[in-house]
Amino acid sequence: MKEWRELNTRWYQFGAFVPLFRVHGQFPFREIYNIAPEGHPAYNSMLFYNQLRYRLMPYIYSMTGAVYHDDYTMMRGLAMDYTHDKKVYDIDDQYMFGPSLMVCPVHEYEAREREVYFPAGHGWYDFYSGEYFTGGESRQVEAPYERMPMYVPAGAVVPFGPEIEHTAQKTDAPYTIVVYTGKDGAFDWYEDEGTNYNYEQGDFSTIALSYNEAEQALTLGQREGSFEGMAENRQFRVIWVSPDAPFDFSLENLDKGKVYDYTGEELVIKR
């Protein structure tokens, strides 16, 4: 039971960062409260990653839009993005989930650390602590029961949404954009109705998010396109992450910081 519970937890951690997150099976039942009681590390971890996936919905949904419109690949072997670094060619237990999250799963019982290679070309931030690592080197990193190692490249621009339970749920709460400084970066934020195929007829919108390292500025470009029910105005928080100002990640900390109003016109936010 102890081993089964821990490996289920590791499966949830990994599963939160694949295109389709589902836990199949009838017996034993797969609801998290049937795997572990509330308050147990397994329960806490599975709940955290479920909630994190939904807070990442703007990032994930934007990638699904890119899959349809641009033939993008969400789950990416490191060689797809770091072809210049030959050391990544034989790494089969790390991958990029989109452009901004390097996922390093743990799949062995009682493992509490693992080796991680940080591709060359830029620095990397620990997703949870904000600690900065130099690219082009390997490290033995901690992998506590409740957390799976995950890292973000310098230059990443990652949008997070408010707490929701499904893609059709609408809310006026502010969104959060986390900017991992150290290099220029960009991300195209995609939206559509979330419940139908009208995007095939052109009913969707995009906002180009771009970060300029020299100017220390984030630009939210003019919105392109539209769809029924689209929010004309939005509020955004911006969180800046740097080696000397790490971000201690928590779902609660995503909701802290200055709020900016976006009306669909270009908006430049200085650090």
Q: How high is the pLDDT of residue 34?
A: 85
Q: Give whole-number Cα distances, 186 to 43, 102, 159, 179, 246, in Å.
A: 35, 16, 11, 10, 20
Residues 144 and 192 in one domain: no
pTM: 0.95
177 and 257 part of one domain: yes
The total number of structural domains that make up the chain: 3
Query: Would you state the pLDDT for residue 25?
Result: 66
Claim to verify: residue 251 and residue 191 sit in the same structural domain:
yes
Q: Tell whether 108 and 189 lie within a shared domain.
A: no
Q: Domain range spanning residue 251? A: 155-270
Least confident of 1-5, 112-116, 247-251: 1-5
Distance, in Å, from the CA atom of 24 to the CA atom of 2, rounded to the nearest integer, reads 20
pLDDT at 43: 96
Tell me, yes or no, whether 162 and 142 share the same domain: no
pLDDT in tens, 173-228: 899 999 999 999 999 999 999 999 999 999 999 999 999 999 999 999 999 999 99
Last residue of a domain, one of 118, 153, 188: 153
Same structural domain, 163 and 78: no
Least confident of 4-8, 55-59, 213-217: 4-8
pLDDT in tens, 94-136: 999 999 999 999 999 999 999 999 999 999 999 999 999 999 9
